[in-house]
Amino acid sequence: MTLTREQEALLNGEKGEVMAKIMKTLVMFGDTFGAERLVPVTGKYGHTVISYGLKVLGPVLDVFDEIIDAGLTDGQKFSADPRPLDKNVPSNLLEDIVFQKIMYTDQARYEEQMRKLGILDDDDYTCTCYLPEVGNIPKKGDVLSWAESSAVVYANSVLGARCNRNSGMLELMGSVAGYVPEFGFLLDEGRKADWIVEVKCKKRPEAQLLGSAIGMKVMEDVPYIRGLDRWLGTELTQEVCSYLKDFGAATASNGAVGLYHVDHLTPEAKESGESLIRENAKVYVIDDAELEHVEAGYPVVWKNKYAKPQLCFVGCPHLSLSQLEDWTFKIENCLRYSGIQKVSVPTVFTASTPVIRAFTASGGAERLKKCGVILSYICPLMYMNNPLCKAKAVITSSNKLRTYTSARYFTDKEILDIITSREGRI
Amino acid sequence: MKEFKGRVVVPGTCKAEALVSRNGFNTLASFQMALMFNKAGVPCGDQNNPDINGMPMQGKALCLPITIGSTTGGMILFTACKTGKAPACMLFSQSIDSLAASGAIMGSVWSETSMPVIDRLGEEFLETVKTGDSVTVLNDGIVQIG
C-alpha cells in the first residue's frame, strides 16, 4: 500500500504510539484486501456497533482507554448502536441481577468513554442512525467508517454511500485516524453484482424472509434483485425504505451481505441498471415455495414448541416512525375485532429515542400504550443475550433476532394475530 | 498426510485438532454465550450451525469457508484472542472476509496473543479436513492434515 507522507508519519509514531497502532491496524487490514491506499473518511459522522459495557468486552474498553489517554479524541463524531438495558422492558429479579451484576457492569464506563470519544448525543444510541429523526444520513458517494451490519448494508444500498463491513473497534479507529483502506465497496468494481436474484413470488414477499433467503444463498456477495420493484414500486418512499431496512438487516445477519441492488429502485440500480451485473453472475430464483422452504428450515429451540409466548419483540432493527404508525393502527383494529383492550402477550416495540419522541409528539405513543404495548429504545438482541432468556418463549418478526437468540420467528401478520388474539397463543 | 497451501493473513505456526464448519461461521452467535458466561472450552453457541454447535472451539484449528453475521464479529474475535479463549488458528477455504480479518489483525496488533490465520486454502481443503483430524500450520501458509 502506498501511503501519503502524512499517513507515513502517523504510522511511524508522529502522533504517538497509539495512533501508530491504529494506523498499523488499518494498513494491515487494507493490505489483506489488496488496498492500494488509505482514503479520507468523507461522511460527516461515524457509527459504531458497540453500545454496551459488557464485562466480557473489557479488553475492547481497555483499547478505548488507550485511545482516550493518548488524547486522540478529536476524530469525527458518531452515533452508536442501541443500549442493552431499559427499565421499562419486563424483566424478573433474577434477570435484573444477571444484567446489572454480571453482564453489563461496565455500562457507565463505556458510555463515559463514548462521550470522550465523540458520541453525537446521549440519545443517539440506535441501529437506525440513518432515519431522518436521528439525522446521521450520509450522502451518495460518501466514504464511511461505520460498523453495524444492518446500517452498513442500508447506507451502501439505499443511500449509495461507500462503506465496507467493518468490525466493531475498527470503525472507531477509522473515525479517529480519518482514513479507511480503499477496497471492496469503496470501489466501483466492488459494487458489482455476483448474483442475479429473480423474485417470482405471487404475493409481496415478507422483507425479513426474503432477506434471510438471499443472505443464506449469496453469503457475502452482492445480489442484483429483479422483480421486487413489482411489489415495492420505483420510488424510495418512507414505507419502501422501512421495507429495505428490514430486508437488508436479514441479508446481513443471515448471510454477510453488505450491498444489494434492487432493479429500478435503489440509486445505483436506477442509474446504471444491469450494467452492474458481473459476467457469469449466478442466478437464484425465489418464489413463494422457496420462502416457505427457508422458513421451515429455521430451528425451533424452545423446550416446548407449543408454549404460550411470554414476550414479543418487534423492532430489530429499530422501527421507523411510519412502521410504528402502521403497527398501532393495525393493533387497534385487531384488538377491536377480538373484543379485548390490550395485547394478550407482553409486547415490546423498539425504536430510537428521536423516533419515539416524534411518535409521542404525534399522539401515537399514547395510543400504542393504551393497547398495552411497551415502547423502548432497547436493543432486543442485547436484552436476550443471556441464558435465562433461553428458557423464555419469545416471539419476534426479526430474522436478525431469531438468528442470534432463542426467539422464534413469525411474520408480521402472524405476530399481529398472536398478540391481538384473546388467548395469545401461536 | 495431505498438504495445502494458502495465504498468510496473520503469521504463526501451530498444531491442533480440527473443528470444521462447512457453512459460514457466525462469529457472534458462536462465541457470545461462551465468552459472556466463561464456559469451559468455549462451546460454539450457534444453533444454526449443526456442524459445530455445542463443540468446544478454544485451542482448535477452526476450518471454515468465511465468517458471516454481525459486525461485532471482529471485536469478539479480538476479545477471544486477548483473553486466551480463541481457536489455535483459523483456516479459511475462501478469501477471508473483512470481519474475521479485522478481528485477527486487531488480535495481532493490540494483544500479545497471536492466532495464525491462513486463507485461500481452496474448496478441496474444506472437503478433505474433518472434525478431529490433526492439523499442522507451518510457515508460508502450509497446512498439513493428518
| Residue-wise pLDDT tens digits, A291-332 | 999 999 999 989 899 999 999 999 999 999 999 999 999 999
Mean pLDDT of A216-230: 97
Whether residue A403 and residue B98 make contact (CB cut-off 8 A), yes or no, is: no
A354 and A370 in a single domain? The answer is yes
For residue A333, give the CATH number of its domain: 3.30.499.10
Of A231, A264, A296, the residue at which a domain comes to its end is: A296
Question: In b/e form, how buried is each residue of B79-115, taking b as 16+ CB within 10 angstroms?
Answer: bbbbbebbbbbbbbbbbbbbbbbbbbbbbbbbbeebb
Mean pLDDT of B62-83: 92
Residue A10: inside a domain? no
Model pLDDT for residues A24-70, shown as the tens digit of each residue = 999 999 999 999 999 999 999 999 999 989 888 999 999 999 999 99
**A385: helix, strand or coil:** coil
Residue A99: inside a domain? yes
- Residue A56: what pLDDT? 87
Q: In angstroms, rounded to a whole number, what is the distance separating the alpha carbons of residues A327 and A416?
A: 8
Residue B114 has pLDDT above 80, yes or no: no
Q: Parallel, antiparallel, or unpaired: how do β-strands B117-119 and B7-10 relate? A: antiparallel
Residue A372: inside a domain? yes
Which residues in chain A have their CB less than 8 angstroms from residue B75's CB?
50, 57, 60, 167-169
Q: Does B45 touch chain A (CB under 8 A)?
A: no
- Residue B36: what pLDDT? 86
* 87-106 in chain B: CB under 8 A from chain A: 96-99, 101-103, 105-106
A178 and A42 in a single domain? The answer is yes
Whether residue B82 and residue A255 make contact (CB cut-off 8 A), yes or no, is: no
A211 and A155 in a single domain? The answer is no
Q: Which residue(s) pair with B8 in the sheet? A: B118
Residue A45: inside a domain? yes
Q: Write down the mean pLDDT value for chain A.
A: 96
Which residues in chain A have their CB less than 8 angstroms from residue B35's CB?
56
Model pLDDT for residues B24-71, shown as the tens digit of each residue = 999 989 998 899 888 999 999 998 899 999 999 999 999 999 998 788
Of A266, A296, A326, the residue at which a domain comes to its end is: A296
Name the residue range of residue A154's domain.
36-186
> Can you list the pairs that A364-372 forms with residues at least 24 positions away whose Cβ atoms lie under 8 Å?
A364/A324, A364/A325, A364/A328, A367/A328, A367/A332, A368/A324, A368/A327, A368/A328, A368/A331, A370/A341, A370/A342, A371/A328, A371/A331, A371/A332, A371/A335, A371/A341, A371/A342, A371/A343, A372/A341, A372/A342, A372/A343, A372/A347
Q: Which residue(s) pair with A349 in the sheet? A: A314, A375
DSSP secondary structure code for residue A129 in this structure: T
Residue A7: inside a domain? no
| Main-chain dihedrals φ then ψ at residue A52, nearest 5 degrees | -145, 140
A210 and A182 in a single domain? The answer is no
Residue A1: inside a domain? no
Q: How confident is the model at residue B112 (pLDDT cuts 50, 70, 90)?
A: confident
Grid coordinates belonging to A45: 459522522
Q: How confident is the model at residue B17 (pLDDT cuts 50, 70, 90)?
A: very high
Q: Does B111 touch chain A (CB under 8 A)?
A: yes
Residue A28: inside a domain? no
Q: Parallel, antiparallel, or unpaired: how do β-strands B14-20 and B61-64 relate? A: parallel
Residue A93: inside a domain? yes
Which ipTM score applies to this complex?
0.91
DSSP secondary structure code for residue B49 in this structure: -
For residue A167, give the CATH number of its domain: 3.30.499
CA distance B60 to chain A (A): 21
CA distance B9 to chain A (A): 7
Model pLDDT for residues A82-111, shown as the tens digit of each residue = 999 999 999 889 989 988 888 899 999 999
Region for residue B38 given its phi and psi (left: phi exceeds 0; alpha: psi -120 to 50; beta: otherwise): left
- Residue A142: what pLDDT? 98
DSSP secondary structure code for residue A103 in this structure: I
- Residue A265: what pLDDT? 98
**A193: helix, strand or coil:** strand
Question: In b/e form, how buried is each residue of A64-102, taking b as 16+ CB within 10 angstroms?
Answer: beebeebebeebbebbbbbbbbbeebebeeebeebbeee
A59 and A133 in a single domain? The answer is yes
Q: In angstroms, rounded to a whole number, what is the distance separating the alpha carbons of residues A228 and B66?
A: 28
Name all domains of chain B by residue range, CATH numbers in brackets: 2-145 (3.50.30.10)
Q: What is the pTM of this model?
A: 0.93
Q: How confident is the model at residue A386 (pLDDT cuts 50, 70, 90)?
A: confident
Q: Total domain count for chain A?
A: 3
Return the percentage of chain A with pLDDT > 90, whole number: 93
Of A186, A202, A219, the residue at which a domain comes to its end is: A186
Q: In angstroms, rounded to a whole number, what is the distance separating the alpha carbons of residues A413 and A403?
A: 20
Mean pLDDT of A261-276: 98
Whether residue A169 and residue B74 make contact (CB cut-off 8 A), yes or no, is: yes
Whether residue B110 and residue A255 make contact (CB cut-off 8 A), yes or no, is: no
Q: In angstroms, rounded to a whole number, what is the distance separating the alpha carbons of residues A167 and B77?
A: 10
